[in-house]
Structure 1
Amino acid sequence: MTDPAYEAESPREHQAYQRIAESAEFATLRKRYLSFVVPATVVFMAWYILYVICNNWARGFMNTPVIGHINVAVVWGLLQFVSTFAIAALYANYTKKKLDPLATELREGFEREVER
Protein backbone atom coordinates (compact mmCIF):
# COMPACT_ATOMS: atom_id res chain seq x y z
CA MET A 1 0.00 0.00 0.00
CA THR A 2 1.39 3.41 -0.95
CA ASP A 3 1.56 6.27 1.49
CA PRO A 4 -0.34 9.24 -0.03
CA ALA A 5 2.38 11.61 1.19
CA TYR A 6 4.80 9.94 -1.23
CA GLU A 7 2.56 9.83 -4.27
CA ALA A 8 3.57 11.76 -7.36
CA GLU A 9 2.52 15.39 -7.33
CA SER A 10 -0.52 16.43 -9.29
CA PRO A 11 -0.37 18.96 -12.13
CA ARG A 12 -2.02 21.48 -9.78
CA GLU A 13 0.72 20.94 -7.18
CA HIS A 14 3.40 21.23 -9.85
CA GLN A 15 1.95 24.55 -11.03
CA ALA A 16 1.76 25.80 -7.45
CA TYR A 17 5.38 24.80 -6.80
CA GLN A 18 6.42 26.50 -10.02
CA ARG A 19 4.55 29.70 -9.12
CA ILE A 20 6.13 29.77 -5.67
CA ALA A 21 9.63 29.10 -7.02
CA GLU A 22 9.26 32.07 -9.37
CA SER A 23 7.75 34.42 -6.78
CA ALA A 24 9.49 37.42 -5.25
CA GLU A 25 8.66 36.08 -1.77
CA PHE A 26 10.56 32.84 -2.44
CA ALA A 27 13.53 34.79 -3.81
CA THR A 28 13.46 36.87 -0.61
CA LEU A 29 13.36 33.69 1.49
CA ARG A 30 16.37 32.25 -0.33
CA LYS A 31 18.27 35.54 -0.05
CA ARG A 32 17.60 35.77 3.69
CA TYR A 33 18.64 32.14 4.17
CA LEU A 34 21.87 32.55 2.24
CA SER A 35 22.67 35.87 3.92
CA PHE A 36 23.00 34.02 7.22
CA VAL A 37 24.29 30.61 6.16
CA VAL A 38 27.12 31.66 3.84
CA PRO A 39 28.83 34.16 6.20
CA ALA A 40 28.34 31.87 9.21
CA THR A 41 29.88 28.96 7.32
CA VAL A 42 32.82 31.03 6.07
CA VAL A 43 33.53 32.45 9.54
CA PHE A 44 33.27 29.05 11.24
CA MET A 45 35.46 27.31 8.64
CA ALA A 46 38.10 30.07 8.87
CA TRP A 47 38.07 29.74 12.66
CA TYR A 48 38.39 25.95 12.42
CA ILE A 49 41.17 26.09 9.82
CA LEU A 50 43.05 28.64 11.94
CA TYR A 51 42.80 26.20 14.86
CA VAL A 52 44.20 23.35 12.74
CA ILE A 53 46.97 25.54 11.29
CA CYS A 54 48.01 26.74 14.75
CA ASN A 55 48.03 23.17 16.07
CA ASN A 56 50.34 22.14 13.24
CA TRP A 57 52.62 25.15 12.84
CA ALA A 58 52.34 27.26 15.99
CA ARG A 59 52.91 24.57 18.57
CA GLY A 60 54.76 26.84 20.94
CA PHE A 61 51.78 29.18 21.10
CA MET A 62 49.26 26.36 21.38
CA ASN A 63 51.29 24.76 24.21
CA THR A 64 51.17 27.96 26.26
CA PRO A 65 49.66 27.11 29.65
CA VAL A 66 46.49 28.99 30.57
CA ILE A 67 45.56 27.38 33.90
CA GLY A 68 47.55 24.48 35.29
CA HIS A 69 47.79 21.76 32.62
CA ILE A 70 45.19 23.45 30.42
CA ASN A 71 46.88 25.10 27.46
CA VAL A 72 45.73 27.34 24.59
CA ALA A 73 45.10 24.30 22.35
CA VAL A 74 42.61 22.82 24.83
CA VAL A 75 40.85 26.16 25.26
CA TRP A 76 40.61 26.69 21.48
CA GLY A 77 39.39 23.11 21.02
CA LEU A 78 36.63 23.64 23.58
CA LEU A 79 35.75 26.96 21.97
CA GLN A 80 35.08 25.03 18.74
CA PHE A 81 32.17 23.37 20.54
CA VAL A 82 31.02 26.66 22.05
CA SER A 83 31.07 28.37 18.66
CA THR A 84 29.10 25.50 17.10
CA PHE A 85 26.35 25.83 19.70
CA ALA A 86 26.43 29.63 19.45
CA ILE A 87 25.97 29.49 15.67
CA ALA A 88 23.11 26.99 16.10
CA ALA A 89 21.41 29.27 18.64
CA LEU A 90 21.89 32.34 16.44
CA TYR A 91 20.53 30.45 13.44
CA ALA A 92 17.46 29.26 15.38
CA ASN A 93 16.75 32.83 16.47
CA TYR A 94 17.34 34.21 12.97
CA THR A 95 15.10 31.55 11.47
CA LYS A 96 12.30 32.26 13.90
CA LYS A 97 12.38 35.98 13.14
CA LYS A 98 13.31 36.19 9.45
CA LEU A 99 12.61 32.87 7.71
CA ASP A 100 9.72 31.12 9.43
CA PRO A 101 7.10 33.85 8.93
CA LEU A 102 7.79 34.03 5.19
CA ALA A 103 8.06 30.25 4.80
CA THR A 104 4.76 29.81 6.65
CA GLU A 105 3.10 32.35 4.37
CA LEU A 106 4.39 30.52 1.28
CA ARG A 107 3.32 27.11 2.62
CA GLU A 108 -0.16 28.33 3.54
CA GLY A 109 -0.55 29.90 0.10
CA PHE A 110 0.47 26.61 -1.49
CA GLU A 111 -1.96 24.63 0.63
CA ARG A 112 -4.83 26.99 -0.21
CA GLU A 113 -3.94 26.79 -3.89
CA VAL A 114 -3.96 22.99 -4.05
CA GLU A 115 -6.83 22.64 -1.51
CA ARG A 116 -5.23 20.13 0.81
Structure 2
Amino acid sequence: MQASPQFQELRSVFRNFAFPMSVAFFVWFIVYLLVATFAADWMGTEIGGGFNIGIVFGLLQFLTTFLITWIYVKFANKNIEPRTAAIRQEMEG
Protein backbone atom coordinates (compact mmCIF):
# COMPACT_ATOMS: atom_id res chain seq x y z
CA MET A 1 0.00 0.00 0.00
CA GLN A 2 2.89 2.35 0.71
CA ALA A 3 3.86 2.36 -2.98
CA SER A 4 0.27 2.91 -4.16
CA PRO A 5 -0.68 6.14 -5.96
CA GLN A 6 -3.34 6.85 -3.31
CA PHE A 7 -0.79 6.74 -0.51
CA GLN A 8 1.71 8.83 -2.47
CA GLU A 9 -1.02 11.42 -3.08
CA LEU A 10 -1.85 11.44 0.65
CA ARG A 11 1.81 12.03 1.53
CA SER A 12 2.04 14.79 -1.06
CA VAL A 13 -1.07 16.57 0.24
CA PHE A 14 0.20 16.35 3.81
CA ARG A 15 3.69 17.56 2.93
CA ASN A 16 2.38 20.42 0.81
CA PHE A 17 0.61 21.69 3.92
CA ALA A 18 2.95 20.71 6.73
CA PHE A 19 6.30 21.86 5.35
CA PRO A 20 5.33 25.43 4.38
CA MET A 21 3.34 25.88 7.59
CA SER A 22 6.26 24.59 9.67
CA VAL A 23 8.71 26.88 7.89
CA ALA A 24 6.40 29.87 8.33
CA PHE A 25 6.04 29.22 12.06
CA PHE A 26 9.77 28.60 12.47
CA VAL A 27 10.59 31.90 10.71
CA TRP A 28 8.05 33.73 12.90
CA PHE A 29 9.60 32.19 16.03
CA ILE A 30 13.15 33.07 14.92
CA VAL A 31 12.03 36.65 14.22
CA TYR A 32 10.59 36.76 17.74
CA LEU A 33 13.85 35.49 19.23
CA LEU A 34 16.01 37.86 17.19
CA VAL A 35 13.89 40.87 18.04
CA ALA A 36 13.88 39.90 21.72
CA THR A 37 17.66 39.51 21.62
CA PHE A 38 18.72 42.48 19.53
CA ALA A 39 15.90 44.96 20.19
CA ALA A 40 15.24 44.33 23.86
CA ASP A 41 14.67 48.01 24.56
CA TRP A 42 12.01 48.17 21.86
CA MET A 43 10.37 44.98 23.15
CA GLY A 44 10.22 46.62 26.58
CA THR A 45 8.28 49.59 25.25
CA GLU A 46 5.12 49.99 27.31
CA ILE A 47 1.94 50.08 25.25
CA GLY A 48 -0.51 50.55 28.08
CA GLY A 49 -2.32 48.58 30.71
CA GLY A 50 0.90 47.07 32.04
CA PHE A 51 1.64 45.43 28.70
CA ASN A 52 4.73 45.92 26.60
CA ILE A 53 5.55 44.92 23.04
CA GLY A 54 7.42 41.81 24.24
CA ILE A 55 4.39 40.46 26.07
CA VAL A 56 2.21 41.09 23.03
CA PHE A 57 4.72 39.26 20.81
CA GLY A 58 4.82 36.38 23.29
CA LEU A 59 1.04 36.14 23.36
CA LEU A 60 1.01 36.23 19.56
CA GLN A 61 3.27 33.16 19.60
CA PHE A 62 0.57 31.28 21.53
CA LEU A 63 -2.16 32.65 19.28
CA THR A 64 -0.20 31.59 16.20
CA THR A 65 0.20 28.08 17.59
CA PHE A 66 -3.52 27.73 18.22
CA LEU A 67 -4.34 29.26 14.83
CA ILE A 68 -2.05 26.83 13.00
CA THR A 69 -3.60 23.93 14.91
CA TRP A 70 -7.11 25.08 13.98
CA ILE A 71 -6.13 25.54 10.33
CA TYR A 72 -4.55 22.08 10.28
CA VAL A 73 -7.65 20.44 11.76
CA LYS A 74 -9.84 22.09 9.12
CA PHE A 75 -7.37 21.13 6.37
CA ALA A 76 -7.04 17.55 7.61
CA ASN A 77 -10.79 17.04 7.88
CA LYS A 78 -11.26 18.26 4.32
CA ASN A 79 -8.17 16.91 2.54
CA ILE A 80 -6.47 14.19 4.56
CA GLU A 81 -9.22 12.28 6.34
CA PRO A 82 -11.16 11.34 3.17
CA ARG A 83 -7.97 9.99 1.60
CA THR A 84 -7.02 8.00 4.70
CA ALA A 85 -10.54 6.59 4.90
CA ALA A 86 -10.34 5.48 1.26
CA ILE A 87 -6.96 3.84 1.83
CA ARG A 88 -8.21 2.14 5.00
CA GLN A 89 -11.32 0.89 3.17
CA GLU A 90 -9.19 -0.50 0.35
CA MET A 91 -6.81 -2.23 2.76
CA GLU A 92 -9.57 -3.73 4.87
CA GLY A 93 -11.58 -4.77 1.85
TM over 0.5: yes
- 1:77 is displaced (CA, Å) by 0.1
- 1:68 is displaced (CA, Å) by 3.1
Residues of 2 paired with 1:32 and 1:66: CA distance?
42
Q: Deviations over 1:19-42 (max 9, x none)?
A: x11111111100000011101110
Q: Deviations over 1:42-64 (max 9, x none)?
A: 01011111111111101122112
Instruction: Flag the structure with larger Rg.
Output: 1
Counterpart pick for 1:67 among 44, 48, 60: 48
Letter paired with 2:53? V
- 1:69 is displaced (CA, Å) by 2.2
Residues of 2 paired with 1:110 and 1:59: CA distance?
56
Q: Which runs of 4+ in 1 moved over 3 A?
A: none
When the two structures are aligned, how many residues end up with a matched partner? 93
**Unpaired runs of 5+ in structure 2?**
none
TM-score using structure 1 length: 0.77
Q: Deviations over 1:76-96 (max 9, x none)?
A: 000111000000000000000
1:44 pairs with 2:25: yes
Corresponding residue for residue 28 of structure 1: 9
**Unpaired runs of 5+ in structure 1?**
1-19
Residues of 1 paired with 2:79 and 2:36: CA distance?
38
Range that drifts further, 83-92 or 63-72 = 63-72
Q: CA RMSD in A?
A: 0.8
